[in-house]
Amino acid sequence: MPSVVGLLEQRELGARRRVDELREEADRIQAELAVAEREWKEWAIARSRVGEVLAPAGEAGQDHARADRTAPAAEERTGKTSRVPEAAKGKSQVPVWREGLAWSALSVDYQRILQVLADRARLGQGPLTCQEMAAAFGMDVVPARVEALRSKAKRLVARGWLSEPAPGRFTLAKGVAGPGGGS
């Protein structure tokens, strides 16, 4: 009859082999992920470059619009095609907020961000993270979508439309309210 220690050693050996197998599989998946992420970034850069080449000559130097071209349009996320395709429309610009400036000065994607934050402010709820925004918009909460929203939110902060009271948490800036006027 085998000893208890011998049985425990067999079980330990089996568990160690399983851990080794899983580590090998995790390493393989990490390597595949790195390759896929690199390929995805290359395609995003290629699309961005083509957008720059196809842009009118006067707009070629506007770096702040580059992130908008690499983020998928709302139609791509929802399957709706009511707007002009990304490659055909002009570059999205975010003007610096000033008293009386209407939300209509912003593209639809930026207006959606402001609207969800205005709704939260109206309901007395606090700041929102980009992951929460993605979920509120019905988007897949994946890094690419969240980072696209974060880029837009940071741009709105830099232009005075939003504030970031805590890192990664966004709310309307003081004075910015309602979609009609900027006050």
For 137, which DSSP code?
T
The answer to whether the predicted template modeling score (pTM) of the entire model surpasses 0.75 is no
> In Å, what is the CA distance from 45 to each residue of 42, 66, 107?
5, 10, 22
Q: Considering the chain, what is the average pLDDT of its residues?
A: 79
Judged by average pLDDT, the poorest of 58-62, 73-77, 102-106 is 73-77
pLDDT tens digits, 152-168: 999 999 999 999 999 99
Phi/psi of residue 83, each to 5°? -100, 175
Asked if 114 and 161 count as a contact pair (C-beta separation under 8 A), the reply is: yes
pLDDT of residue 131: 92
Strands 169-172 and 162-166: antiparallel
pLDDT of residue 94: 84
Asked if 106 and 114 count as a contact pair (C-beta separation under 8 A), the reply is: yes
Q: Quick count: other Cβ atoms within 10 Å of Cβ 73?
A: 20
